[in-house]
Amino acid sequence: MSTLAEISPAELGADLLTRWGDQDVAPAGVVIGPTNDTQQQQGVVAFMSAGLPQVEKYTPIQWVRAQIRCLAPTLAQADAVAQSVQLSIHGLVRRKARMASSGEWYLVHLCNITAGPSMHFDSPETWETLLFAEMMIANDPL
């Protein structure tokens, strides 16, 4: 049985997007963690874990959240990236996703965008549209 710390909602969410979503969602791609200025100026999607998991008591699954930062040089571009992300992964049911750090595959029972879009003026050069995904993931790798 896996420990909770071994499962990364950011890695699994990013894999869902790259595997099952729009391959051209952002020119600088999909990353896990922080982004640099060059990526932000091209348009990038950054996944990060967001909050503690909720473990189901009687089944080997957990609910986790991932923060999805959609960064681009204009608000219109950041919004278009966020819309593409939402269309790509909202409502996915029973999809396999690979966690890059371990190479393990997990079954994601459900992925829903549960918050956002929230628009932010990040800097004079960068706009951000923020989304949150809630995912139900099996505790054990496939």
Q: Using one digit for the tens of pLDDT, what is the confidence trace for 92-113?
A: 999 999 999 999 999 999 999 9
Q: Please tell me the predicted confidence (pLDDT) of residue 4.
A: 53
**pLDDT band at residue 133 under the 50/70/90 scheme:** very high
CA distance 33 to 79: 20
Give the pTM.
Answer: 0.90
Q: What per-residue confidence (pLDDT) applies to 2?
A: 47
CA dihedral 94, 35, 45, 7 (to 10 degrees): 10
Q: Which domains does the chain carry?
A: 4-138 (3.30.2000.30)
Confidence grade of residue 55 (pLDDT, cut at 50, 70, 90): confident
Average pLDDT of every residue of the chain: 91
What's the confidence (pLDDT) of residue 51?
Answer: 81
3-state DSSP percent of the chain in helix, strand and coil, to 5: 25, 45, 30
Task: Evaluate the omega torsion of the peptide bond into residue 9 and state whether it is cis, within 30 degrees of 0.
Answer: no
Q: Whole-angstrom Cα distance, residue 105 to residue 91?
A: 19
